[in-house]
Structure 1
Amino acid sequence: MVSNARLMLLAIVAITCATGACAEAGTTAPAQSGVASWYGPGFHGRRTANGERFNTHALTAAHRSLPFGTQVRVTNKSNGRSVVVRINDRGPFVGGRVIDLSNASARAIGVSGVAKVSLARL
């Protein structure tokens, strides 16, 4: 049988991780996997969803639901290369994709079109 103290400890850990404090303790949230693409040529200099100007040379990305400013490690599953990007825009708007990378972010992990990736929120 589980003691009340053990249940309380489990509840505290769950609440702490749900609020993002696990990342501060050196752990990461569960990874997400899917297809990444890149965007940029027609958007460079235009406003992103968070209001800043899009810079195709910066290590940024668009995600449908992660909060703006979130740091995400994106790993290309075909070559193991990874990059840490900052979420500053919304998208992708093409079905089946999980993240849109800036040109610099895509090049850093060897993506020239689309690629299977894993995401880990830091």
Structure 2
Amino acid sequence: MTAVHWVNNLRTALNAAPMSLADIQMVLTGLTETSETLYGTASWYGPYFHGRQTANGEIFDENALTAAHKTLPFNTQLKVTNRMNGQSVVVRINDRGPYVGQRSLDLSKAAAHCLGSAQNGVVPYEAVILKPASPTDLDELTTAQLPLE
């Protein structure tokens, strides 16, 4: 989070609007939003599963920005927004689940912390599926979010 604060302090000094964590992640990783949006209820999982194997074969790291979904392809990138407070983060699907009630997304502890949902445990979310940005998308994104003036 220190890097986000640093970027936003610099942007403020340059009279530019601050950027959210998710927007910074998208610029740094060259991702852009698709028109596909999911809505549902998200929970988070961590300590018990930390160090165990995920459904895609990786070792689960509760401190990584990852999530579990029942059907999305592995490595799908999502911009997840907590609909209660507007906080967003980009996560990568690397596991299957959740299998509790009507929940449709299980976040890592770190992702839940970024969304401000670690205390609540379960929150309504909006998730936009992301894709690699085309060169024109990157030009527009860079121009719009990182003004030189």
Compute the TM-score of the two structures, normalised by the length of structure 2: 0.63
Instruction: Specify whether residues 119 and 27 from structure 1 end up closer, same or farther in structure 2 by C-alpha distance, changes over 3 A only.
Output: closer
Local SS of the residue matching 1:28: strand
Identity rate of aligned residues, in percent? 58
Aligned partners of 1:26 and 1:100: how far apart in 2? Answer: 22
In the alignment, which residue of structure 1 is the partner of 2:56? 50
Local SS of the residue matching 1:49: coil
In the alignment, which residue of structure 2 is the partner of 1:120? 128
Give 4+ residue runs of structure 1 displaced > 2 Å after superposition: 24-27
In the alignment, which residue of structure 2 is the partner of 1:6? none
Among candidates 71, 76, 82, match of residue 70 of structure 1: 76
The Cα shift of 1:34 comes to: 1.0
**Structure 2: gaps (5+ residues):** 1-29, 131-149
Among candidates 79, 96, 99, match of residue 102 of structure 2: 96
**Structure 1: gaps (5+ residues):** 1-23
Give the paired residue count: 99
CA-based RMSD of the aligned residues comes to 1.6
Local SS of the residue matching 2:85: coil
Matched, 1:109 2:115: yes
Aligned partners of 2:58 and 2:103: how far apart in 1? Answer: 23
Aligned partners of 2:84 and 2:93: how far apart in 1? Answer: 23
Aligned partners of 1:25 and 1:73: how far apart in 2? Answer: 10
Larger Cα-atom Rg = 1
Compute the TM-score of the two structures, normalised by the length of structure 1: 0.77
Aligned partners of 1:76 and 1:59: how far apart in 2? Answer: 15
The equivalences for 1:25-64 within 5 A come to 26-64=32-70
The Cα shift of 1:98 comes to: 1.4
